[in-house]
């Protein structure tokens, strides 16, 4: 895990400009979790995204996450697609608020607030006919750190309207 964090930090510093769409985006994400998402571009190769959503993993719960994203250049731009389709990766965190579940008068220890790290990997698509829309697909493996360690997988597809 430590090597992955070092790699992500170095890659973010070395990422070439020109892959991310500048501006602020607001939209929806459907999958695990499902809800409202946003993205703010820091420059042409870096962005921050976040979501407030409902998670259906296990017992349903409210989920919020924020990620630092890097667009290192490249993608499916050369695959005959019209528009742009850059790849991205990043690192971030999530908080998952699960309700307390009481069985036989005792609190179920599998419930409560969970805090963890996410590593989103995805691709965006910006069609030329609708330049203010950004479609995306991502998977985000992660590791809950508190109250106990546990692996999880988030993923979904979505669309954002870009305000410039």
The pLDDT score that the predictor gives to residue 111 is: 66
- Predicted TM-score (pTM) of this structure: 0.79
Average pLDDT per block of 10 residues along the chain, 164 residues long: 44 42 90 97 95 88 97 71 88 90 45 93 91 94 96 96 90
The pLDDT score that the predictor gives to residue 57 is: 78
What b/e readout covers 124-146, taking b as 16+ CB neighbours within 10 angstroms?
Answer: bbbeeeeeebbbbebebebebee
Tell me the chain's radius of gyration from C-alpha atoms. Answer: 17
The pLDDT score that the predictor gives to residue 135 is: 95
The pLDDT score that the predictor gives to residue 21 is: 61
Q: Which two tokens stand for residue 147?
A: 């109250």
Q: Which two tokens stand for residue 74?
A: 């490249």
**Using an 8 Å Cβ cutoff, are 89 and 27 in contact?**
no
The pLDDT score that the predictor gives to residue 58 is: 77
Q: What is the CATH number of domain 2-163?
A: 2.40.160.20
List the chain domain ranges. Answer: 2-163
- Distances from the Cα of 82 to the Cα of 41, 125, 131, 136, angstroms: 22, 10, 12, 15
């Amino acid at each position: 895990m430590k090597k992955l964090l070092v790699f992500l930090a170095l890659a973010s510093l070395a990422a070439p400009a020109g892959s991310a769409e500048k501006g602020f985006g607001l939209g929806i994400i459907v999958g695990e979790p499902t809800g409202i998402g946003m993205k703010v571009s820091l420059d042409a190769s870096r962005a921050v995204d976040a979501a407030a959503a409902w998670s259906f993993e296990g017992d349903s719960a409210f989920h919020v996450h924020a990620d630092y994203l890097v667009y290192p250049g490249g993608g499916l731009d050369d695959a005959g697609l019209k528009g742009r389709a850059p790849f991205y990766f990043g690192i971030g965190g999530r908080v998952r608020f699960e309700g307390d579940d009481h069985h036989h008068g005792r609190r179920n220890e599998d419930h409560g607030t969970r805090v963890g790290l996410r590593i989103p990997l995805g691709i965006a698509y910006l069609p030329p006919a609708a330049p203010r829309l950004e479609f995306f697909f991502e998977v985000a493996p992660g590791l809950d750190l508190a109250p106990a360690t546990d692996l999880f997988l988030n993923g979904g597809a979505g669309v954002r309207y870009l305000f410039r």
